């Protein structure tokens, strides 16, 4: 996996320089398989973290996860973390008030393809 990681980093460096890298295969793209809180859900319990499970491994180095409130303020309590199997991206949250929240994620799969997305969830209940 060393060589493939090195070539991935090289590919990203090239992509960052503005050169288009032709996708060889789309099979190893990473897309969300499950989100917690679920996409668009209104929940009574206040979530302590946001967790996205992907369908393929992601590169920890290039994984981003932002959670913000309606005013755009960051409500994450820590840096995002990638699980050891590289399938799950999560971030701990500050104590959330009632309101709408936006989740934005961006990851790079092992085939060097980037995917990104965003969704919202709503906290309706109280902390108890």
Give residues in contact with Cu ion (CB under 5 A). Answer: 26, 29, 111, 113
Integer Cα distance of 15 and 19 in angstroms: 5
Whole-number minimum distance, CB 23 to Cu ion, in Å? 6
Of 35 and 111, CB closest to Cu ion: 111
Whole-number minimum distance, CB 32 to Cu ion, in Å? 15
Whole-number minimum distance, CB 126 to Cu ion, in Å? 43
Whole-number minimum distance, CB 117 to Cu ion, in Å? 15
Which element (helix H / strand E) includes 102? strand 99-108
Q: Which residues of 85-100 are buried (b: 16+ CB within 10 A; e: fewer)?
A: ebbbbbbbbeebeeee
Of 4 and 42, CB closest to Cu ion: 4
Of 29 and 86, CB closest to Cu ion: 29
Integer Cα distance of 65 and 51 in angstroms: 9
Q: Residue written as tokens 């499950």?
A: 34
Q: How many CB atoms lie within 10 A of CB 77?
A: 13
Of 101 and 112, CB closest to Cu ion: 112
CB-closest chain residue to Cu ion: 113
């Amino acid at each position: 996996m060393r060589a493939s990681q090195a070539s991935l980093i090289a590919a990203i460096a090239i992509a960052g320089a503005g050169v288009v890298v032709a996708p060889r295969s789309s099979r190893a793209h990473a897309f969300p398989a499950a989100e917690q809180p679920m996409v668009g859900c209104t929940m009574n319990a206040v979530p302590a973290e946001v967790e996205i499970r992907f369908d393929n491994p992601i590169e920890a180095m290039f994984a981003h996860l932002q959670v913000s409130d309606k005013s755009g303020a960051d409500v994450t309590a820590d840096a995002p973390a990638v699980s050891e199997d590289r399938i799950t991206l999560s971030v701990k949250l500050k104590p959330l008030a009632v309101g709408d929240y936006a989740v934005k994620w961006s990851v790079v799969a092992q085939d060097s393809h980037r995917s990104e997305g965003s969704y919202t969830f709503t906290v309706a209940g109280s902390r108890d």
